[in-house]
Amino acid sequence: MSYFLGNFPATRLRRTRSAPWIRRLTAESSLTVDDLILPIFVRDPDTPHEIRNFPGVFRYTINELPAVLEHAAKLGIQAVALFPYTPENLRSDDAQEALNPENLLCRAIRQVKYHVPHMGIIADIALDLYTTHAHDGLVLNGSIDNDETVALLCRQSLNVAEAGATVIAPSDMMDGRIGAIRRILDTHSFHDRLILSYAAKYDSNFYGPYREAVGTGTRLKSNNPKELTDKKTYQLSTSNSEEALREGAQDIIEGADILMVKPALPYLDIIQRYTQEYPAVPVFGFQVTGEYALFKSYPDYEQGENMLIESLLSMKRAGARAMLTYGAIDVAERLKNGGI
Ligand code: PBG
């Protein structure tokens, strides 16, 4: 800092911490319900409501969705992100179910539109929920084929856009997909749809409970040859941040409206760098399943929730404009009751 910050005793930094009113007035960041996006797992009636190894988060049928949505809307939550559990018999090597206008995701989108028309609807674009091998892309000749995958992601994006998704959120980490998706949306008059790019999506161990929730974890391990049992050939390596900046820059140029960093807490530095390097571009953080589980498995429930809330505020401090969190409803309740 080039300016003079002041020395003790003329400067006593505790003065602005001395009472709630002044702490609030001088707060540099805050957490409100406008920062929260609720991810929801969607199921067919044959898939269990409970998720193994992930207590406190559930899958909902199309008919169970309205109650959750209305609760979220009443609390002031502005958007949901939908993740379907595709039934066993509908998964295939070529992920054709992703293109079915009647698939679980499209039906869920229409349900949200019908019950809470003002709610933002974020649709995940990737093939993992539709492929037998659970990769985000098509496996051709023993590796994930970038360009064939992008072609399919474009058609998947159109499918969810037609169902009414307001935000197209590619989470697959293929090269060039943002530009390709933007072009196909534009040629079909979907210029109004946002693209939320999972620009910095790390190859992370924090996705464990998610893969359980959508049925991809064991598939990845058991339905692939040894060299394909992880997503390292497309997701970012934990060791890299310059590469994340490059991904973000490319996605902005290709037409992304918002960048996402995922997971969020272990990658706060990336949230901060994005907001510093590209201050005009909104950045979201995804507090992923593994992060949520860490806090929720803490023996003292309230303490665990406080820890979760603290970590959300740290994402705001780093520069995130909003966060996806499985705790959105609980946190919104706390905010409403003045508990934060
Ligand atoms: C992949 C995808 C993942 C998540 C959402 N979409 C991770 C993965 O399986 O690689 C993780 C979300 C979470 O853990 O909350 N398309």
Q: What is the pLDDT of residues 238-280, one digit of tens each?
A: 999 999 999 999 999 999 999 999 999 999 999 999 999 999 9
> Given a cut of 60, is residue 2 above it in pLDDT?
no
Q: Report the Cα–Cα distance between both ends of the chain, in Å, rounded.
A: 32
| 173/295 Cα distance (integer angstroms) | 28
Sign of CA dihedral 302, 215, 268, 323: negative
Q: How far is the CA of 326 from the centre of ligand 1 (A)?
A: 13
Percentage of residues of the chain with pLDDT beyond 90 = 96
Q: Across the strands, what pairs with 121?
A: 80
- Given the CA of residue 171, which atom of ligand 1 is nearest to it? 16
Is-catalytic flag, 262? yes
Name the pLDDT band for 186 (thresholds 50, 70, 90): very high
| 204/159 Cα distance (integer angstroms) | 28
- Given the CA of residue 126, which atom of ligand 1 is nearest to it? 16
Q: Which of 231, 262, 296, 316 is the catalytic position?
A: 262
Tell me the pTM. Answer: 0.97
Q: How far is the CA of 10 from the centre of ligand 1 (A)?
A: 51
Long-range contacts of 48-51 (CB under 8 A, 24+ apart): 51/209, 51/212, 51/213
What is the per-residue pLDDT for 6?
Answer: 84
Of 88, 137, 130, the C-alpha closest to 105 is 130
Q: How many Cα atoms sit within 13 Å of 287 on the Cβ side?
A: 29
Q: How far is the CA of 211 from the centre of ligand 1 (A)?
A: 7
Is-catalytic flag, 201? yes
CA distances from 162 to 29, 69, 78, 144, 166 (A): 37, 21, 21, 27, 10
> Domain residues of the chain, as ranges?
30-234+242-336
Q: Which of 74, 113, 201, 296 is the catalytic position?
A: 201
pLDDT tens digits, residue range 190-247? Answer: 999 999 999 999 999 999 999 999 999 999 999 999 999 999 999 999 999 999 999 9
> Given a cut of 60, is residue 315 above it in pLDDT?
yes
- Which residue's CA is the closest to the ligand 1 atom numbered 8? 207
Domain boundaries 30-234+242-336, CATH class: alpha beta
- Given the CA of residue 214, which atom of ligand 1 is nearest to it? 9
Name the pLDDT band for 340 (thresholds 50, 70, 90): confident
Q: How far is the CA of 3 from the centre of ligand 1 (A)?
A: 44
